[in-house]
Structure 1
Amino acid sequence: MRSKRPADASERLIKPYLESLNLGGVEHQPLGNVTPDFSIDGRIAVEVRRLNQNFVDGIGDHQGVEQVHFSIYPWLHNELPKMGPSIEGESWWVSVHYRRPLPHSQAIRASIRNQLQAFMGRSARTSQSEWQIEAAPNFRLTLRLSSEDLGKFFVLASMSDYNQGGFVVAEALKNVELCSAEKWRKVIACPHKFEQWWLVLHDVMGLGLVNEDWVSVSEHLSPSCHVWNRIAVVGSKDPLRGHVLYTRQPV
């Protein structure tokens, strides 16, 4: 009898997602405590991994981003449109720049809302096409006047985390590709032949990506990821709703 280890947190979360696809029985570690993590109907091998990232602090210690989860991005995505429509065709792009350590997110949200409302009340907003707003320590907004009416007064343009080194979509893309390469090395060493190999990632990055962001990640995946038959991402909040980033053939 093959020995098996207990399923970890990511595997426990992803198993119901795999079962929800109704493609056949889902078995954890079908070959024992080796690759793959799951099989579906004995045909599809599934590797599971946490989709995370790390930043290095001032003394050289590594800390996972999910340990300092920051929820401003999804909040801005929903909040900015609520601040009102464009005014006589005037719209502003909002870019966000921050680095840790940061104040509590509720304090930052209140400051952002107050400062943007104050900006809307300025009579000389368009005297220059770009403004910088320090919403909190280590947290800055850049407002750029749009050349066209965007329908809303404020529209989220981008978000840069200087501890992570890039925009959220670019950072997610980089980490998906890193996870793909790491896991595929294990697949190559697996002697058992399955019809298909899938990679399913448990998103713990804490970047708050929305559906449009995952579509962008999908569109820019490196061809090196095409070794898989499918790559999907599952979040903790809605584990049955996976984002399929790549699929090579019908199942």
Structure 2
Amino acid sequence: MNREEEIVFNYLTYKAYEEIQYEPNKQGNNRNIPPDFSIRGSIGIEVRRLNQHYITSAKTEPLEQVDFNLIPKINSLLKSYNKIDFDKSAFVMINFRRPINPNKNLLRKLKQALDDHLDSLDTSKTLYFKNLKLEMLPASTVLESAYHLGAIVDADSGGGVVSNIYKNLEVIINEKQTKVNPQLEKFDSWWLILVDYISYGLTSYDLQQLNSLPPFEHSFDKVILLSPLDLTHAVEVEL
């Protein structure tokens, strides 16, 4: 199993699904026949990472190679502010470009700046840290935390959290639909589980925004986004 398949297998085990089989259609050395997993022999499950790529003349690398080190740390820092008393909230827009090193020194500076802004959540403010910029914008309603991740703008790609997921979902769903089409009749139901390296776990607010967008045509009965950081954080999208 690759890393994403291991994450999904652990998720299926955590959910206590019965008769989980890995690569049920494997034929000899040919392991590229869907699905990646089956449940009770009747549900076929395809697995993939939900990601973007950074392409230059010198190399091609997954954007999450940097994102995985940076975004979860900032998001975790923002969520830590749900443990304090607050009566206002602010959206935090993250804008960054490579190279960037999300080390302890940077995180200390971020926390100090966020602490200093707590008394001014109803005003806008922009913080600059070399190749990283945080923009705080007042929210019209009180959210789950004093700070809420509103958008991630990767200067090497760009886009808000929801729009990025929506754009990449279309590509991935079409890709996976083509792959499973020859095997559709072999299973009563098909699921697509995507390990989410864009938001690392959608909030209820973001999921509502995503589900309000026009749906795609496909044959999957479930499309699930699973956080690579938390097996308990999985959401089903209605696209």
Give the TM-score band, short-chain normalised.
0.7 to 0.9
The counterpart of 1:159, out of the listed 151, 165, 170, is 151
* Secondary structure in structure 1 of the residue aligned to 2:136: strand
* Secondary structure in structure 2 of the residue aligned to 1:156: strand
Pair 218,60 (structure 1): closer, same or farther in 2 beyond 3 Å: same
Alignment of 1:150-189 (within 5 A): 150=142, 155-156=147-148, 158-161=150-153, 162-189=155-182
Alignment of 1:174-213 (within 5 A): 174-190=167-183, 192-203=185-196, 205=197, 207-212=199-204
| 1:245 and 2:237 aligned | yes
C-alpha RMSD of the superposition: 3.5
The counterpart of 2:97, out of the listed 93, 96, 99, is 99
Alignment of 1:57-68 (within 5 A): 57=56, 59=57, 61-68=59-66
Pair 72,47 (structure 1): closer, same or farther in 2 beyond 3 Å: same
Name 1:229's counterpart in structure 2: 221
**Kept after mapping to 2: 8 A contact 1:29/1:37:** yes
**Kept after mapping to 2: 8 A contact 1:73/1:208:** no
* Secondary structure in structure 2 of the residue aligned to 1:50: strand
Name 1:27's counterpart in structure 2: 21
Structure 1 counterpart of 2:75, one-letter code:
P
The counterpart of 2:133, out of the listed 140, 157, 161, is 140
Cα distance, 1:226 vs structure 2: 4.6
Cα distance, 1:53 vs structure 2: 1.7
**Kept after mapping to 2: 8 A contact 1:26/1:38:** yes
- Return 5+ residue gaps in structure 2 as ranges: none
**Kept after mapping to 2: 8 A contact 1:84/1:153:** no
CA distance in 2, matches of 1:166, 1:13: 26
Structure 1 counterpart of 2:204, one-letter code:
E
CA distance in 2, matches of 1:131, 1:240: 34
- Return 5+ residue gaps in structure 1 as ranges: 1-6
Name 2:86's counterpart in structure 1: 85
Structure 1 counterpart of 2:110, one-letter code:
I
| 1:10 and 2:4 aligned | yes
* Secondary structure in structure 1 of the residue aligned to 2:151: strand
CA distance in 2, matches of 1:197, 1:152: 33
**Kept after mapping to 1: 8 A contact 2:200/2:228:** no
- Name the % identity: 23
Name 2:44's counterpart in structure 1: 45
CA distance in 2, matches of 1:229, 1:92: 36
CA distance in 2, matches of 1:92, 1:20: 34
**Kept after mapping to 2: 8 A contact 1:96/1:160:** yes
* Secondary structure in structure 1 of the residue aligned to 2:186: coil
Pair 173,105 (structure 1): closer, same or farther in 2 beyond 3 Å: farther
Pair 214,105 (structure 1): closer, same or farther in 2 beyond 3 Å: farther
Cα distance, 1:164 vs structure 2: 2.9
**Kept after mapping to 1: 8 A contact 2:93/2:134:** yes
Cα distance, 1:130 vs structure 2: 4.0
CA distance in 2, matches of 1:227, 1:152: 34
Cα distance, 1:97 vs structure 2: 2.0
Pair 38,116 (structure 1): closer, same or farther in 2 beyond 3 Å: closer
Count of residue correspondences: 230
Cα distance, 1:195 vs structure 2: 1.1
Cα distance, 1:83 vs structure 2: 6.9
* Secondary structure in structure 1 of the residue aligned to 2:101: coil
Cα distance, 1:149 vs structure 2: 7.4
**Kept after mapping to 1: 8 A contact 2:89/2:148:** no
* Secondary structure in structure 2 of the residue aligned to 1:223: coil
